[in-house]
Amino acid sequence: MTNFLWWRTGLICMLMTVASAPFAAASTGEIEVGKAEIFMPQRNASGTGSKMTIYNRSDQPLMIRAVTGERFRQVMLHTTTYQSGKREMHPVDHITVAAHQKLALTLNTAHIMLMGFTRPLQMGELVSLILHTNQGSVTVIARVVPMSIR
Ligand SMILES: [Cu+2]
């Protein structure tokens, strides 16, 4: 019960942060994350993909080394390659965003794969993720949206 209330308070704080920053869903000063979305899992699927755009306004490369989220038992970093027209995903150690660059994470490129739901995702709900990077932790609020490949 105590844990649950603590979690709710944390979520409300994060939602207020989102409300005050119309485009960015997260910020550690020079790092921002825009338009973060989690795809509604297919029926009975144990995992799903996500997309977001990472803005690195710092003078150093940003390396995303891991991602956590209390709604997921495991989070993987993936890249996508095409083998004779077929899409294949491969786990990678980290995803790098060069200094003063942005990088769109999509299912067709590098992306964050979310597995093992601690409870079912609901369409439209906001879910928090924490990006663990060489420049510190970045909290991201992602919306659960219908599946799309774009
Ligand atoms: Cu993937």
Tens digits of pLDDT across the chain (150 residues): 444 444 444 444 444 444 444 444 444 579 999 999 999 999 889 999 999 999 999 999 999 999 999 999 999 999 999 988 888 999 999 999 999 999 999 999 999 999 999 999 999 999 999 999 999 999 999 999 998 755
**Greatest C-alpha distance within the chain:** 53
Q: 58 lies in a domain?
A: yes
Q: 133 lies in a domain?
A: yes
Q: Which residues have CB atoms below 5 A from the ion given as ligand 1?
A: 78, 89, 113
Q: 150 lies in a domain?
A: no
CA 39 to ligand 1 centroid distance, Å: 11
User: How far are the Cα atoms of 27, 72, 79 from residue 87, in angstroms, in the given order?
Assistant: 32, 24, 10
Q: 84 lies in a domain?
A: yes
CA 69 to ligand 1 centroid distance, Å: 16
Q: Which domain holds residue 25?
A: 2-145
CATH number of domain containing 6? 2.60.40.1890
Is there a contact between 69 and 127 (Cβ–Cβ < 8 Å)? yes
